[in-house]
């Protein structure tokens, strides 16, 4: 818009000499202090800060080529299905997908590895992530593992464990001393280690129980909060084999087994919430709750179809466990925020890598 | 007749948004570099605050178009006049673009756009990895550009207030006018 110029003698009373120098100094200090505060907040001045980037960097160095893939649970397969809510959960939570009814699910089975080409037999931890969508668009995303507890309680310990598990380029394997040192200095890993050593190995994703590990809070219609963990309990009988026999089944036996089973019919799990008693730890995923805690069966997950991940519906979903509907909130478990922040970084990287890869292959054509 | 100051509403909006935008930039740069439990709180503030800034920015642009702005001093060098107009245009542009990019980015990433409680916004872009990657990068670099432009804006405002003392700062000063213009 046109601007009428004020009279030539403007209101300017420019300072000169020392006042000018003081003014310039104030400006310089104000700007550099602001920039320094911004840099501090962004972690540039504190390289020791544990950031999502450092965790994802460490996760990316566990063998194979994870570019374009999730940096953990890198090898997986998409599935489709429905969650059939029993309605029993409505007494505990106002989450819309706990109201009796049927809700669509996009899920993903995976093994906990950093290598998208890993042998399935190398996956001690198997996982199932699901996204349940309510008719109003609200989502419940959950990433669950078949171990009864998580290996560590804090993001810092998770980072140290991941660094200890990095592949030594000289041997192509993790440094056993680093892993031993980590275990010796982190006694909280003992319950997980005990499970890893003694739990039977099976031939299938279908016969595993998948556990939320972290605690959450169900908020009921009266606004009361209930500390819970949840599990997907299989209805498929376990097919137990010696671990040595798994390698002979080929590197992708879990995917082949899943597809073969689904060709015959849906696979089902019961979604069961376990309620904490007062005093049960909600901020420590390494500690199981006593087995006598009350449970509520929230519904049944029916898995009906599998899709290869490369073009599957789950590929572009970040199974961030803090994407929750009303009626479910994160607990005080410090792993939840760290999982959310770290999954986001991993998601940012693989989407950028895929986009770059696609444009590179278009150029190549 | 041209006003000699921005209207009270314009000044109130300016300072309210200054606080909101600076908070927003610090929350943004802080939340993506922490795994502390406060991460969840920061993200939960970032999204509704961004939408609030978008709404306020649209109000502000309407006000700016209707009420205009006091003229810059005639003796301000041409280059500085140009810099002032360009930076103001850039600031208005980024106030609108940043929240829209953030909103579109979450849409393309397949994230629900939650603003607290059951309050959600619809997606404004298709769920698309490649689009997400572009918008995510744009959101970061535009945030840095926004912060640098704000620093330049701060430096210029202080230059007018402390060195040139030409009354430009007073046109947007939050306090009531004193004897000097």
Weakest mean pLDDT among A13-22, A340-349, B49-58, B147-156: A13-22
Residue B127's pLDDT is what? 96
| Chain B residues touching A139 at Cβ < 8 A | 112
- Contact call for residues B51 and B103 (beta carbons, < 8 A): yes
pLDDT over 90 at A170, yes or no: no
State how many domains chain B has: 1
**Alpha-carbon distance values, A72 to A64, A150, A339 (Å):** 12, 14, 11
Kindly report the nearest CA distance between residue B28 and chain A, in angstroms.
9
Average pLDDT over residues B45-63: 97
- What lies within 8 Å, CB to CB, of A18 at 6+ separation is none
**Alpha-carbon distance values, B6 to A11, A131, B62, B84 (Å):** 17, 50, 14, 15
Residue A18's pLDDT is what? 85
Residue B155's pLDDT is what? 97
How does residue B4 score in pLDDT terms, banded at 50, 70 and 90?
A: confident
**CA B149 to CA B151: how far, in whole Å?**
5
Q: In this complex, is the C-beta atom of B19 within 8 Å of any C-beta atom belonging to chain A?
A: no
pTM, full prediction? 0.93
pLDDT over 60 at A9, yes or no: no
Does residue B1 lie within any of the structural domains?
no
pLDDT tens profile B71-86: 999 999 999 999 999 9
pLDDT over 60 at A365, yes or no: no
- What lies within 8 Å, CB to CB, of A8 at 6+ separation is B74, B75
How does residue A173 score in pLDDT terms, banded at 50, 70 and 90?
A: confident
Average pLDDT over residues B145-158: 97
Nearest CA in chain A to B1: A4
- Which residue, among A181, A186, A192, has the nearest Cα to A151 in the 3D structure? A192
pLDDT over 80 at A247, yes or no: yes
- Contact yes or no for A352 and B136 at CB 8 A: yes
**CA B133 to CA A248: how far, in whole Å?**
40
Does residue B24 lie within any of the structural domains?
yes
pLDDT over 70 at B2, yes or no: no
Q: Which one is catalytic: A73, A181, A186, A270? A: A73
- Contact yes or no for A20 and B111 at CB 8 A: no
pLDDT over 70 at A10, yes or no: no
Does residue B35 lie within any of the structural domains?
yes
- Contact yes or no for A43 and B34 at CB 8 A: yes
Does residue B178 lie within any of the structural domains?
no
| Domains located in chain A, CATH noted | 56-150+192-364 (2.40.180.10)
Q: What is the DSSP string of A181-211?
A: HHHHH-GGGHHHHHHHHHSPEES-STT--EE
Does residue B59 lie within any of the structural domains?
yes
Q: Is B21 helix (H, G, I), strand (E, B) or coil?
A: helix
Q: How far is CA A8 from the centre of its chain?
A: 65
Residue A186 appears among annotated catalytic residues: no
**CA B53 to CA B24: how far, in whole Å?**
9
Kindly report the nearest CA distance between residue B34 and chain A, in angstroms.
5
Does residue B3 lie within any of the structural domains?
no
What is the domain extent for residue B168? 8-71+79-172
Weakest mean pLDDT among A62-66, A252-256, A357-361: A357-361
Q: In this complex, is the C-beta atom of B31 within 8 Å of any C-beta atom belonging to chain A?
A: yes
Does residue B44 lie within any of the structural domains?
yes
Q: How far is CA A211 from the centre of its chain?
A: 13
What mean pLDDT is reported for chain A? 93
Nearest CA in chain A to B152: A31
- Which residue, among B170, B50, B173, B9, has the nearest Cα to A10 in the 3D structure? B170
pLDDT over 70 at A129, yes or no: yes
What is the ipTM metric for this complex? Answer: 0.94
pLDDT over 50 at A291, yes or no: yes
Average pLDDT over residues B87-101: 98
Q: In this complex, is the C-beta atom of B25 within 8 Å of any C-beta atom belonging to chain A?
A: yes
Kindly report the nearest CA distance between residue B166 and chain A, in angstroms.
4
**CA A291 to CA B4: how far, in whole Å?**
74
Q: In this complex, is the C-beta atom of B174 within 8 Å of any C-beta atom belonging to chain A?
A: no
Kindly report the nearest CA distance between residue B12 and chain A, in angstroms.
22
pLDDT above 70 covers a percentage of chain A that reads 94
Average pLDDT over residues A11-33: 86
pLDDT over 70 at A31, yes or no: yes
- Which residue, among B77, B76, B3, has the nearest Cα to A11 in the 3D structure? B76
Residue A360's pLDDT is what? 60
Average pLDDT over residues B47-52: 98
How does residue B69 score in pLDDT terms, banded at 50, 70 and 90?
A: very high
pLDDT over 60 at A80, yes or no: yes
Residue A6's pLDDT is what? 44
Does residue B161 lie within any of the structural domains?
yes
């Amino acid at each position: 818009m046109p601007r009428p110029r004020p009279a030539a003698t403007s209101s300017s009373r420019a300072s000169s000499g020392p006042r000018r120098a003081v003014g310039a100094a104030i400006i310089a200090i104000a700007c550099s202090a602001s920039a320094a505060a911004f840099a501090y907040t962004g972690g540039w001045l504190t390289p020791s800060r544990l950031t999502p980037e450092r965790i994802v960097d460490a996760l990316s160095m566990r063998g194979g080529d994870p570019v374009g893939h999730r940096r953990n649970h890198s090898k997986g397969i998409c599935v489709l299905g429905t969650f059939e809510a029993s309605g029993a959960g409505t007494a505990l939570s106002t989450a819309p997908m706990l109201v009796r009814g049927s809700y669509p699910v996009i899920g993903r089975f995976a093994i906990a590895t950093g290598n998208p080409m890993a042998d399935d037999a190398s996956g001690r931890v198997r996982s199932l992530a699901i996204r349940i969508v309510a008719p109003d668009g609200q989502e419940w995303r959950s990433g669950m593992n078949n171990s009864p507890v998580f290996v560590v309680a804090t993001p810092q310990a998770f980072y140290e464990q991941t660094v200890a598990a990095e592949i030594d380029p000289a041997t192509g394997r993790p440094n056993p001393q680093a892993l031993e040192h980590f275990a010796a200095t982190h006694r909280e890993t003992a319950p997980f280690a005990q499970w890893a050593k003694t739990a039977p190995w099976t031939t299938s994703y279908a016969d595993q129980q998948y556990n939320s590990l972290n605690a959450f809070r169900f908020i009921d219609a009266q606004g009361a909060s209930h500390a819970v963990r949840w599990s997907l309990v299989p209805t498929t009988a376990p097919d137990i084999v010696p671990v040595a026999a798994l390698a002979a089944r080929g590197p992708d036996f879990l995917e082949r087994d899943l597809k073969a089973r689904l060709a015959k019919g849906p696979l089902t799990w019961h979604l069961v919430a376990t309620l904490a008693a007062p005093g049960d730890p909600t901020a420590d995923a390494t500690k199981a709750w006593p087995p006598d805690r009350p449970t509520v069966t929230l519904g049944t997950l029916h898995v009906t179809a599998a899709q290869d991940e490369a073009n599957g519906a789950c590929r572009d979903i970040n199974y961030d466990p803090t994407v929750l509907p009303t009626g479910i909130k994160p607990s005080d478990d410090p792993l939840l925020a760290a999982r959310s922040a770290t999954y986001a970084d991993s998601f940012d990287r693989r989407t950028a890598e895929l986009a770059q890869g696609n444009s590179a292959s278009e150029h190549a054509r | 007749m041209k006003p000699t100051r921005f209207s009270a509403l314009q000044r109130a909006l300016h300072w309210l948004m200054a606080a909101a935008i600076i908070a927003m930039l610090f929350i943004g740069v802080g939340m993506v570099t922490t795994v502390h439990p406060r991460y969840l709180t920061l993200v939960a503030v970032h999204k509704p605050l961004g939408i609030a800034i978008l709404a306020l920015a649209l109000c502000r642009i309407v006000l700016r178009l209707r009420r205009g702005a006091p003229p810059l001093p005639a003796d301000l060098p041409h280059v500085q006049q140009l810099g002032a107009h360009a930076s103001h245009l850039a600031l208005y542009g980024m106030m609108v673009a940043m929240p829209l990019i953030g909103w579109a980015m979450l849409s393309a990433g397949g994230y629900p756009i939650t603003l607290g409680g059951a309050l959600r916004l619809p997606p404004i872009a298709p769920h698309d990895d490649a689009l997400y990657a572009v918008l995510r990068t744009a959101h970061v670099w535009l945030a840095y550009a926004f912060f640098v432009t704000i620093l330049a804006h701060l430096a210029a405002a202080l230059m007018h207030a402390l060195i040139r003392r030409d009354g430009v700062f007073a046109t947007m000063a939050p306090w009531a006018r004193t004897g000097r213009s």
